[in-house]
Structure 1
C-alpha cells in the first residue's frame, strides 16, 4: 500500500469529467496474477512497468538478478502518489473505505484499494527509454478515477534509472487546500532488501559514516508506521545482507519516510506481504490546475556505488535560494493562501487573520556559510509583524527562541531586507529549514515575496528596489 494507505490505520476510529482522457466507463478489476509488461534494459539493469496498472514499475533488477520490487497490492510498486483536501474526499457522495477516510484526495498510479487498475492512455518504449501516461485512481474510493493525469519518463544510464515525473491536475474543486507531504515517488522493495542506510550528520559529501535506519512495523494500528529522517545528501538505500540493493536519490527532497513492514525479515518476493519502503517527501500545495514535476534517480548496486553516484552528480552549492520564478520552491503556509497556480515571479500571499507561518522546504546548509538572509518582499498591513525562524538538524520544530525580527514596512512597497541570524547563539551547525512567522495580520492583509535567500547578501535594510 502507499504511504497514505498505511497512515490510514492511524485514523481508523461525482468526479466531473474534464476531458475525454478521464474515462467514464468503470475501470476493470485487475487480476494480480496477470500483467501487461513493457521492459527497457541495458547491459547492467532491466526495468519493467505494468500497463495494466497505470505503468507503475513492478520490475527492477540487475542483469541476471532477482526482482527488487514488491507488488502484493496496488499501493506498492514504484509509483506516483499525491495528497490534498478535502478530508474526507467524497465526490458526489461516494464514501471512502473506512480506514482510508483520513487520506482525503489521494490519486495513485497503480490503482485503487478495490483492485481497479489505473488506465494507461499513452505509452512509448525506445529500448532504453520509456514513457507512460495514465489516469490514476483514487486509492480510498471504489472505482473513482482522478481528475488528473500522471506522466513518467524513464531512461537507463549504466546502473541508474533516471526518472522524471509529472502531475497534470484538472480538478473541478478549485479550492486551495493546505500543503501536505508528497511522495516523490513511493518505492517498495521485496523483503530480502530489508536494511535501510542513509547519512544523517552535518558533514555531507565527506564520506562520513552512514546510519542504519531500524524501523520495523509488524502491522496493526499505529501513529508511526514509518520512520522519518532528514539527510543532507538527499539519498537513502534499501540493501540486503551483502550490502547490495536499491538507492533512491531525490533532487528535491532532503526528508525521507521509510521502514520495514512484516514479521518475516530478510526474505520474500514480489507477491509476499513483507516489504521495505522508501519515499522522498516534501510538503507541497497541490492546486486544482497545477503542473507539478520532480526528478528522482534509482541506483542499483552496492552502498559504495550508490553513494559515489550521488557524489558525482550533486552540485556543491550553498543554500538557500528561493526565486519563485515558476513555482513555490516548496514553500507552504498555515493561516494563509496565495493567488494560486501558475506562479509568476512572486508569491502573492493573503492572510486569514491572526498569526501565520510561511515555511520553506527542508534543506541543508551550515550556519557559518550563510550568515545573512536576504528577503525581497512587499507587506501591506497596518499591524502585522514578521520574524525569520530557523530549525537546526537537532531541532524537531520551529521556536521563537531561534528567530530574528524582520522590520518590514507595511505600506505595500517592495523592499530588500537583510536578516543576520549569525549574531544569535542559536544559529549554528546544520540549518535544515527556515520560515517567516507573521503575527497579528488582519484578514485580507497581503505579503508579496519576490525572493528569499543568500544571493545579493548583504543589502541595505529597507532599500527600495
Structure 2
C-alpha cells in the first residue's frame, strides 16, 4: 500500500515547454523545475504523473547515514532516513526554483534549492541544475543533463560519504503505461513483469534502457548509461487504464547507481527519454547506445 502524503496547498502551474512536432516537454516552476509534462505526436496526453513532490521526472539523491528525526517533525513513514534532496520537494512541500528559463527553442534550464524528502518544508544544503533539450538528429528524443552541488557542513549529523543508491533519474508515468520492457538491442525487447504495489521490482536491463508502453503501442523509454545493473520499476497498484497525471496510481522507473556523495560533492550525469512505438524507440536507442554506452558520470570531492 502506498503511504498517504499530507495535503499540499494547491499552487498554480507555471510551465515552460519546448516542442519540435514530434515531442513536447515541459518543466514546472512551481514544482521544483522538474519535468511535469511530456507528450508525443503519437500520444497527445501528458505521460508524467505529477500528483505530489515525490512523483514527476526529477533528480533524487541520497547521502550519509539514516537518521530518526521524528521528534523534529520527520514523516513517520520515512524514518529513519538519510540526507535525501528531492528536486520536486519534500513531504507536503514544493522546492524553490531560483532560475527558470527557455535558453532557446530547443533547451530549457532550471536551478533548484531542493527540499529534504523526509521533512516538510526543509530546504537541503544543495543546488540542483538541469538542462533539458532535444537530442540532435533524433526528433523523438530528449536529453537531460543534471548537476547536484552539495554544500553541507562537513561535520553535520549525516556524516561523511558512504555508498548510497542514486536515482538517475526518478521517473513517474501515468498508470496506463504499464507494459514494461527492457531493450536488448537490434529491435529486440524483453517483457518485464511485476506484482502491483510496493516494494518496487528489480530489473537488470542489459543496455541500460527500459521502456513503458500503453495498450495502443505508444511508449516512453529511459536510457541511463551511467546507471548500475539494478533498476527499480513497477506500478503502485490500481487499474491499468488510468490516464490521469494526478492519480494516486502510477508507473515508476528509476535507474540506480551507487555513488559516495559527501558533504561537498558535485555530481553530474545525463539521461535520455525516447518517445514512440517499439520500432521507433528501438531505432533511436540503437543510435544512442552506439554513441553513449561508455558515458560516465562526473563526481568530485567524494572523499569529504
Check 1:39–1:273 CA distance in 2 against 1; reply closer, same or farther (3 A cut). Answer: same
Match of residue 340 from structure 1? 303
Mapped pair 1:120 → 2:97: yes
Query: 1:211 and 1:310 mapped to 2: Cα distance?
Result: 15
Match of residue 290 from structure 1? 265
- Provide structure 1 residue ranges, at least 5 long, that are not aligned to the other structure: 10-28, 329-337, 342-465
Contact 1:30-1:52 within 8 A present in 2 as well: no
Query: 2:204 and 2:81 mapped to 1: Cα distance?
Result: 23
Query: 1:252 and 1:97 mapped to 2: Cα distance?
Result: 31
Deviations 1:384-435 (A, max 9, x none): xxxxxxxxxxxxxxxxxxxxxxxxxxxxxxxxxxxxxxxxxxxxxxxxxxxx
Deviation at 1:89, TM superposition (A): 5.9
Mapped pair 1:246 → 2:220: yes
Deviation at 1:172, TM superposition (A): 0.9
Deviation at 1:339, TM superposition (A): 7.5
Contact 2:225-2:293 within 8 A present in 1 as well: no
Query: 2:80 and 2:126 mapped to 1: Cα distance?
Result: 21
Contact 2:22-2:140 within 8 A present in 1 as well: yes
Mapped pair 1:47 → 2:25: yes
Deviation at 1:156, TM superposition (A): 1.7
Query: 1:261 and 1:232 mapped to 2: Cα distance?
Result: 25
Query: 1:100 and 1:31 mapped to 2: Cα distance?
Result: 21
- Once the two structures are superposed, the pairs formed by residues 294-443 of structure 1 within 5 Å of their partners are 294-315=269-290, 327=299, 340=303
Query: 2:146 and 2:302 mapped to 1: Cα distance?
Result: 25
Deviation at 1:283, TM superposition (A): 0.9
Q: TM-score, normalised by structure 1?
A: 0.58
Deviations 1:151-209 (A, max 9, x none): 1101124111110001000001443232111100111110121111114xxxx5344x4
Deviation at 1:216, TM superposition (A): 3.0
Mapped pair 1:271 → 2:246: yes
Contact 2:222-2:272 within 8 A present in 1 as well: yes
Query: 1:131 and 1:318 mapped to 2: Cα distance?
Result: 25
Match of residue 205 from structure 1? 185
Structure 1 counterpart of 2:143, from 134, 146, 162: 162
State the superposition RMSD in angstroms: 2.8
Give the secondary-structure state (helix, strand or coil) at the position aligned to 2:80.
helix
Check 1:318–1:291 CA distance in 2 against 1; reply closer, same or farther (3 A cut). Answer: closer
Check 1:307–1:147 CA distance in 2 against 1; reply closer, same or farther (3 A cut). Answer: same
Deviation at 1:94, TM superposition (A): 2.5
Query: 2:293 and 2:35 mapped to 1: Cα distance?
Result: 34
Query: 1:131 and 1:159 mapped to 2: Cα distance?
Result: 20
Deviations 1:274-294 (A, max 9, x none): 111111110111111111011
Deviation at 1:103, TM superposition (A): 2.8
Contact 2:175-2:243 within 8 A present in 1 as well: yes
* Structure label with greater radius of gyration: 1
Mapped pair 1:229 → 2:203: yes
Contact 2:34-2:56 within 8 A present in 1 as well: yes
Match of residue 230 from structure 2? 255
Q: TM-score, normalised by structure 2?
A: 0.87
Deviation at 1:30, TM superposition (A): 5.7
Check 1:339–1:121 CA distance in 2 against 1; reply closer, same or farther (3 A cut). Answer: closer
Instruction: Report the structure, 1 or 2, having the larger strand content.
Output: 2
Query: 1:327 and 1:270 mapped to 2: Cα distance?
Result: 34
Deviation at 1:43, TM superposition (A): 1.3
- Provide structure 2 residue ranges, at least 5 long, that are not aligned to the other structure: none
Check 1:62–1:316 CA distance in 2 against 1; reply closer, same or farther (3 A cut). Answer: closer
Aligned length: 293
Match of residue 189 from structure 1? 173
Match of residue 447 from structure 1? none
Structure 1 counterpart of 2:123, from 122, 128, 145: 145
Check 1:289–1:198 CA distance in 2 against 1; reply closer, same or farther (3 A cut). Answer: same
Give the secondary-structure state (helix, strand or coil) at the position aligned to 2:65.
coil
- Once the two structures are superposed, the pairs formed by residues 51-70 of structure 1 within 5 Å of their partners are 51-63=29-41, 65-70=44-49
